[in-house]
Amino acid sequence: MLSASTIFAAWLMVGSDRPNLLAQWSLIPTLVVPWVFSIWLVRHTLASRKLELHQGDMPIQPALLVAMAACLASLRRVRILALLGFTSTLALAAAIGQLLGSGRITPDQVVGMAGFMIGTVLVFMGALAASYFGHLRPEHDRLARLLENYAR
Instruction: Report pLDDT digits (tens) over 62-77.
Output: 888 888 988 998 999 8
What backbone torsions phi and psi does residue 85 show, to the nearest 5 degrees? -60, -40
Concatenated DSSP letters of 55-71? -SS--HHHHHHHHHHHH
> HSE of 131 in the Cβ direction (CA atoms, 13 Å)?
15
- Asked if 102 contacts 25 with a C-beta cutoff of 8 angstroms, the reply is no
**pTM greater than 0.85:** no
Helices in the chain by DSSP H: which ranges?
2-15, 27-52, 60-102, 107-131, 137-151
Query: How far apart (Å, rounded) are the C-alpha atoms in residues 69 and 52?
Result: 10
pLDDT digits (tens, 9 = 90+) for 97-150: 888 887 888 888 888 888 888 898 899 999 999 999 999 999 999 999 999 998
pLDDT digits (tens, 9 = 90+) for 22-60: 666 777 777 778 888 888 878 877 776 665 555 567 788
Instruction: Measure the CA angle with vertex 86, ends 11 and 9; round to 5°.
Output: 5
Q: What is the pLDDT at residue 11?
A: 61
- Asked if 140 contacts 75 with a C-beta cutoff of 8 angstroms, the reply is yes
